[in-house]
Amino acid sequence: MTTTGIYCRDGCPGRPKRRNVIDFTSPVAAEAAGFRACLRCRPDRLPSAYAVDGAPSVVARALLVIGEGGLDDDREEEIARRLSVSSRHLRRLFLQHIGATPAFVARSRRAHFVRRLLDETELSIAQIAFAAGFSSIRQMNRVVRETFRATPSALRAKRLRNDRLVADGGLPLRIPYQSPFSFAASLDFLRRRTIPGVEAVGADAYRRTITTCGNPGVIEVTDAGDGRHLIVVGHLPTFEALIDDVARVRRIFSVDQPAAMWLPQLMGDPLLAPLIAARPGLRPLGAWDRFEVAARIIIGQGVSVPAASTLAGRLAQALGTPVTGVSEFGLTHVFPPAQRLAGAGLAEITGIGVPESRATAIQALARGYTASEICLDPSVTLGRLLEQLTALPGIGPWSAHFIALRAAGHLDAFPAEDLGLRRAMSRLLGREEETMVSTKELLERAEQWRPYRAVAAMHLWASLQAD
């Protein structure tokens, strides 16, 4: 509202005159124009997906990179270079489609994370500053005042009693998402692909070991049950860089890629429509650690899903870092980082049962990833990432596409050679095993699903689990 300098979400109880209202595509665009969030409807609590219809893919990829802390250490010029555009062009695209510069979006991300910690936790102001990625309390105070027109202390004094989460061992936080979202369907997918000792999926929770500031910890994720939030509980050695830990949880469950992006298009396919109607909130799931999931996929070449999980668990036990005191979660180790596997002897990997060809592929990827020659994030286009991966020994199109889907979050990645995808499509077409759909036929059918073939793949896999 131009008369008050406040921005609201649709449905706010406030009823301003229409002539005093300006429409914005997102909260960050309103903030960039100088407006502050309404204290009644709290539009700043909306999920932080700023992309709008019609925005170029480079903008969408940049938003995902920024959402994972891409501008916390790097400048806009570095992010632009990774995206293969000039910084001037990136800023122009952001102003045109988002209404704010990349740097402003990154600053807003940290400020809103501060607001959430002030509302939901009892962390001190100093702890919150470092948890949100600020270099000092003074810097945090300045950014928060510019964003909310109030100091952190004043914002905490205004919080409501029902905003607070009561910690019962660990630090709980809410992570907002846009419906439809199916946490149960997400757990079903992850449950079959866990790395024993590193991850554990229960009936209603996902748990895993993590490393924070070089020290091991554990996070557990559940659904709040309100249709709007996940709850993440961190059992952490320090809350520094907590904002990045939360970003990784968002990445696992693809919180920043809402189903509304693809539902209209994919529901137009009469074969896919019943599958999507059964699980409208299923999303292409990501990973806490990009290299970890890529290594898990390579291990899975040519073997069953359970066998791949067993081998990945052995690798974690043999070369990972032991974690004590969390056996009640079914967790024992942190997965070995790329540097550890890059420097390991080949026999250390083959000795646990991984074939030499796959062990060689894992090490080639580890070396390329450690040297920053291969970047497993959305800043690299799907085509370029596939080229980089298939150039490595022992990595073919199936692995490359699956890695692009899980590790980099590319929505058009599609491992068409996957036997499960071919079998699922054959069943939809009423074909017997002897006349199963070929990879070529599946690719031809999938053309109509672009640029969301990864979503279609998730639903095809889920249809097999329903048997």
The DSSP annotation for 246-295 comes to HHHHHHHTTTTS-GGGTHHHHTTSTTTHHHHHH-TT------SSHHHHHH
Alpha carbon distance 467, 151 (integer Å): 55
pTM of the model: 0.86
Q: How many whole angstroms separate alpha carbon 148 and alpha carbon 176?
A: 20
Query: What 3-state DSSP class applies to 366?
Result: helix
Q: Identify whether 418 is a catalytic site residue.
A: yes
Tracing tokens 């979400």 back to the chain, one arrives at 9
Q: Which of 8, 41, 245, 256 is catalytic?
A: 8
Q: Closest by alpha carbon to 208, among 322, 376, 377, 332?
A: 332
CA distance 1 to 36: 10
User: Can you state the angle between helices 290-299 and 356-370, rounded to 10 degrees?
Assistant: 160
The pair phi, psi for residue 241, each rounded to 5°, is 60, 25
- Record the tokens describing residue 283, joined without a space: 């999303």
HEC string for 96-160: HHCCCCHHHHHHHHHHHHHHHHHHHCCCCHHHHHHHCCCCCHHHHHHHHHHHHCCCHHHHHHCCC
Evaluate whether 197 touches 316 at the Cβ level (below 8 Å).
Answer: yes
- The DSSP code for 392 is S
Catalytic member of 44, 245, 289, 418: 418
Domains and CATH numbers, the chain: 6-157 (1.10.10.60), 290-318+334-465 (1.10.340.30)
- pLDDT tens string, the chain, 467 residues long: the values are 565 677 777 767 666 777 767 877 777 777 877 787 776 677 766 665 555 566 788 888 888 888 887 777 668 888 888 888 899 999 998 888 888 898 888 888 889 899 888 988 889 999 999 999 898 999 999 999 988 888 999 988 877 655 555 444 678 999 999 999 999 999 999 999 999 999 999 999 999 999 877 778 899 999 999 999 999 998 887 788 789 899 999 999 999 888 988 999 999 999 999 999 999 999 999 999 999 999 999 999 989 999 999 999 999 999 999 988 777 788 999 999 999 999 999 999 999 999 999 999 999 999 999 999 999 988 899 999 999 999 999 999 999 999 999 999 999 999 999 999 999 999 999 988 778 999 999 999 999 999 999 999 999 999 998 65
Peptide bond into 180 cis (omega under 30): yes
375 is catalytic: no
Q: Are 352 and 318 in contact (CB under 8 A)?
A: yes
Residue 44, burial from CB neighbour count under 10 angstroms (0-12, 13-18, 19+): buried
| CB-CB neighbours of 435 under 10 Å | 10
Closest CA to 338 of 318, 364, 313: 364
What gap in Å lies between CA 132 and CA 119, rounded to an integer?
Answer: 14
Burial, 439: exposed, middle or buried (Cβ in 10 Å; 0-12, 13-18, 19+)? middle
Q: How far apart are CA 276 and CA 256, in angstroms?
A: 19
Dihedral sign, CA of 307, 308, 309, 311? positive
